[in-house]
Amino acid sequence: MCVPPCGSTVAHVLAATSSVIGVVNSVIVAVIASLAGLELHLGGPVIFSLGVVGLVMAMVSLARYGANDFRRGQASLRPLFPGGPEGKG
């Protein structure tokens, strides 16, 4: 993903396909957690809290996974220009 020099990095990260899919997945987790609370006949505030906790946990775990994947991808890149870390050129 390329970020133009005049643009906002945060906006481009949030608009990336993986981020959009992560948000949708997190909302689905929140709905499932709320439905589980509803099935257990819990009160309204507890059901809402389950949904919020599910949403936050899913978003944090997907963000951590994405950040680790990004770091692994960056670490695998090798410079293609002279004078790289091997001292050649």
Q: What does the pLDDT profile of the chain (89 residues) look like in tens digits?
A: 555 666 667 776 767 788 889 999 999 999 999 999 999 999 999 999 999 999 999 999 988 988 888 788 888 887 777 665 555 54
Closest by alpha carbon to 51, among 26, 73, 68? 26
pLDDT digits over 41-55, tens only?
999 999 999 999 999
Rounded Cα–Cα distance for residues 12 and 20 (Å):
11
| pTM (two decimals) | 0.69
Rounded Cα–Cα distance for residues 44 and 35 (Å):
11
CB atoms under 10 Å from CB of 66, counted, come to 15
Domains of the chain by residue range: 21-72
Rounded Cα–Cα distance for residues 50 and 39 (Å):
12
Contacts for 73 with CB less than 8 Å, ≥ 6 apart: none
